[in-house]
Structure 1
Amino acid sequence: MIDEAPPEKGPRRFGNVSFRRWHEILQGSVRGLLREVLLGSVSGEVWEGWGGLDANEKDGGLVAEVEGYFMGSWGSRERLDYGTGHELSFLAFLGCLWKLGAFGDGAKGGGEVERGLVLGVFEPYLKVVRRLILTYNLEPAGSHGVWGLDDHSFLPYIFGSAQLTRPIAESEPMPLEGSAPGAPRPSDVAKPATVDLYRDSNMYFSAIGFINDVKKGPFWEHSPILFDISGIKDGWGKINKGMIKMFNAEVLSKFPVVQHFPFGSLFSWDQDPEAVKATQSVHMASHGAATANMPSAGAGAGTAAPWAQATRMPGAAAGVPSGSGIPYSRAPLTNVGSSAPTTPRGGAPDTGPPPPTSFPQGQPGTASNQFAVTKAPWAK
């Protein structure tokens, strides 16, 4: 379908309008595809369980719901963008098929169906999305810039860190620390050569690899949150736990994301009066004190997002103004052309990288040359 809707030629700042043509092609064939999948794999007993509707109502009701989630999975044809809300829509699409019994007895345990869906369906979906982004120059939907985890996706970091977490028995809870034997270190995400080695077998590294494909410069500079997370010493189990918490706080609990999520009979809006209020992620809460101390911009000024506020880094040196930047960066801070130690905004003198005998160095100015110890958002 991408080949049937080639992008219009010529430079443009925002998305290519041919993406709307691609959406039209998909819309024209989606109903037939879904009818084939649903009516071919969902039993009559399951249909009867959804309110005893007759054949016409079933086709127009449930199929229409599933179609809505599916069509919402590929970005916005109006805004020419793609983000975590569209990714969530595809997860809901798979959830609809799961509820309708399209995957057989997968819900009864064993894990084979779940692994097959993640590795055999969700990762190929992400590859199609990445091709759409590159082909039609889709804008990041609701991106937080460097204050966000990723411009477009979130779920591959949950699934990918789970791939690298230590093995557990079916009755065990998800581990809070540790890694699978032979797993790459979290810090390896900042090494392009290691990312290329694992991107075809792990979803976390695949997502990092796509970032490296579309962004230039040091990894710590264009992806500081991921870079901070790469310094966690307790293994992929802790990263996985933190990613799940962050997804709940930064995606599921964010109105700009869920305002576009439709509810129906498969995913209904049932408010639980005893539900615990969603907690703010540590990443966002870490900016609270700094934001509270920010001087007022005056009446009529626009409200800046929490992640766009200037940060007051702890221990700032006297006379060094607090400005916008990374709240707890591991970024190497040096003055080019000066041999004397410099004093970054954090107040601690920068003596440069460790000597070559104590730490392997990559090519200067590249992502493989990062060093020092980090404090990840949830590693406090």
Structure 2
Amino acid sequence: MAQTIQSTLPTKRIVSKAHLDAWLDSPTHADVVRFVEQLNQSVVGVKLTDTVEESQAVSALVSVLDQVEQIYHDTPPVDNGKSRFGNPAFRDFYDKVAARAPELHARIPGLDSAYVNELCVYFCESWGNRTRVDYGSGMELNFICWLLCLQKLGVISEEDSKAIVIKVFWKYMRIARLLQSGYWLEPAGSHGAQGLDDYHFAVFIFGSAQLRDHKYLRPKCIHDNEILDEFAKDYMYLSYVRYINSIKTASLRWHSPMLDDISGVRQWAKVNDGMLKMYRAEVLAKLPVAQHFLFGALLPYPDAPELEAHHEESDVHVDSHGHLHVRGESEFSSCCGIAIPSGFAAAQAAKEAAGGAGGLRSVGDQAGVRRIPFD
């Protein structure tokens, strides 16, 4: 099908509650959910250290990400004074990636050149927002959409799913960490309103899938530093919890309350099922996140002409940051548009403060996080 449609540059289309509802009922939404579930199922019981066969296309994608990592190393942060917010060198990094994106895509075997410009939009937006110098779950979603588009074009297949998660997605996560820590990227949008992490969500989906049928490790093991140290190399969920602990001085309960709550669940299968449900509800179905979803030829917006000029002013308002909010969703109204310093910057400030006291409440106010049952 992808070969018979004309490529278009992806754009934002969701500007009201009615648009959001149309998106949730659309084939594109179903495709995204199905793709995430496909990737999730492919890594059940698979370790990061397992030998995973790579197709030529998967190897090419890893090579593309290697080039992005090299661009980061070639673009060091600049002296930003005592600012604890995003480093302006990130914009130089973004521009370099954007300039090289067409050439990088030309290295991917089997890719129709007619779709390169469309794919480049998802690819570039995967690394963060150039204007705000921030990063959030919407950027992670752009990377997933980039992969989905490649599958729609036949570049990668469903049989590649295991390698896509273990090799490609995990490589992406490691680069994202470099950008967040090196450029002090601010948490975007909800500032970790899901209570998992300041920046990411999908890593906990795929990470819990890896552990889904584990005979010995239980969700409560995230509180055991010895287990985290031993098994972080094998499981991305444990690796990322260990990583969070390394940059936050407060307890997990303080800065990642949902992760702390989930640790009380008895089975990883329930955690994994809950993560998938939570992703659909808290990322794909929330206007402050979904408003940034990009629709093109490969991921089309539903054909609904009557919605083109539809705005529900009584239900939706726009903040000073240009973000849309549904009235009543208070968990977003108090933080979106307010500059929140990077947790890495806060951690650095804590280290520099001689005799600094107490834990670090680094990003956002988690007091109003809505609990989502996993049992």
Query: What TM-score does the superposition give when structure 2 sets the normalisation length?
Result: 0.62
Cα distance in structure 2, aligned partners of 1:146 and 1:66 = 29
Q: Tell whether the 8 Å contact from 2:194 to 2:282 is kept in structure 1 after alignment.
A: no
SS at match of 1:148: coil
Cα distance in structure 2, aligned partners of 1:16 and 1:135 = 8
Please name the residue that 1:315 is paired with: none
Q: Deviations over 1:334-365 (max 9, x none)?
A: xxxxxxxxxxxxxxxxxxxxxxxxxxxxxxx9
Mapping of residues 260-279 of structure 1, within 5 Å: 260-270=292-302
Please name the residue that 1:252 is paired with: 284
1:189 positional shift: 0.9
Percentage of matched positions with identical amino acids: 39
Please name the residue that 2:102 is paired with: 31
Alignment-mate amino acid for residue 3 of structure 1: H
Mapping of residues 124-203 of structure 1, within 5 Å: 124-145=171-192, 148-166=195-213, 180-182=214-216, 184-203=217-236
Identify the range of structure 1 (213-222 vs 139-148) with the bigger mean alpha-carbon deviation: 139-148
Alpha carbons of structure 1 residues 5 and 308: separation in structure 2 relative to 1, 3 Å: closer
Task: Say which of 108, 113, 119 aligns to 1:66.
Answer: 119
Please name the residue that 1:240 is paired with: 272
SS at match of 2:106: helix
Structure with greater proportional helix content: 2
Q: Tell whether the 8 Å contact from 1:118 to 1:159 is kept in structure 2 after alignment.
A: yes
Q: Tell whether the 8 Å contact from 1:147 to 1:308 is kept in structure 2 after alignment.
A: no
Cα distance in structure 1, aligned partners of 2:76 and 2:155 = 34
Mapping of residues 268-347 of structure 1, within 5 Å: 268-270=300-302, 305-307=329-331
SS at match of 1:14: coil
Say whether residues 1:378 and 2:373 are aligned partners. yes
Alignment-mate amino acid for residue 181 of structure 1: K
Alpha carbons of structure 1 residues 128 and 65: separation in structure 2 relative to 1, 3 Å: same
SS at match of 1:41: coil
Larger radius of gyration: 1
Cα distance in structure 1, aligned partners of 2:136 and 2:100 = 23
Alpha carbons of structure 1 residues 212 and 271: separation in structure 2 relative to 1, 3 Å: farther
Question: Relative contact order (alpha carbons < 8 A, sep ≥ 6): 1 or 2 greater?
Answer: 2
1:210 positional shift: 2.1
Cα distance in structure 1, aligned partners of 2:140 and 2:107 = 23
Please name the residue that 1:207 is paired with: 240
1:252 positional shift: 0.5
Alignment-mate amino acid for residue 140 of structure 1: P
Say whether residues 1:11 and 2:82 are aligned partners. yes
Q: Tell whether the 8 Å contact from 2:191 to 2:199 is kept in structure 1 after alignment.
A: no
Q: Tell whether the 8 Å contact from 1:146 to 1:224 is kept in structure 2 after alignment.
A: no
Q: Tell whether the 8 Å contact from 1:228 to 1:377 is kept in structure 2 after alignment.
A: no
SS at match of 1:2: helix
| RMSD (Å), alpha carbons | 2.7
1:231 positional shift: 0.2
Task: Say which of 91, 110, 119 aligns to 2:144.
Answer: 91
Q: Deviations over 1:226-256 (max 9, x none)?
A: 00100002x1101000000000011001112
Q: Tell whether the 8 Å contact from 2:94 to 2:130 is kept in structure 1 after alignment.
A: yes
Q: Tell whether the 8 Å contact from 1:80 to 1:139 is kept in structure 2 after alignment.
A: yes
Q: Tell whether the 8 Å contact from 2:90 to 2:183 is kept in structure 1 after alignment.
A: yes
Alpha carbons of structure 1 residues 117 and 221: separation in structure 2 relative to 1, 3 Å: same
Please name the residue that 1:121 is paired with: 168
Alignment-mate amino acid for residue 66 of structure 1: L
| Structure 2 unpaired stretches of 5+ | 1-70, 305-326, 334-358, 360-370
Cα distance in structure 1, aligned partners of 2:123 and 2:273 = 28
Please name the residue that 1:2 is paired with: 72
Q: Deviations over 1:261-317 (max 9, x none)?
A: 211111111269xxxxxxxxxxxxxxxxxxxxxxxxxxxxxx7854489xxxxxxxx
Query: What TM-score does the superposition give when structure 1 sets the normalisation length?
Result: 0.61
Q: Deviations over 1:145-200 (max 9, x none)?
A: 5652211000011101111112xxxxxxxxxxxxx223x21001122232222222
Q: Deviations over 1:14-70 (max 9, x none)?
A: 100010011111112111011221xx324xxxx5xxxxxxxxxx53xx111111100
Please name the residue that 1:350 is paired with: none
1:221 positional shift: 1.7
Cα distance in structure 2, aligned partners of 1:210 and 1:251 = 22
Please name the residue that 2:110 is paired with: 41
Cα distance in structure 1, aligned partners of 2:294 and 2:104 = 21
Cα distance in structure 2, aligned partners of 1:266 and 1:245 = 25
Say whether residues 1:223 and 2:294 are aligned partners. no
Alpha carbons of structure 1 residues 12 and 33: separation in structure 2 relative to 1, 3 Å: same
SS at match of 2:293: coil
Q: Tell whether the 8 Å contact from 1:146 to 1:222 is kept in structure 2 after alignment.
A: no
Alpha carbons of structure 1 residues 34 and 203: separation in structure 2 relative to 1, 3 Å: same
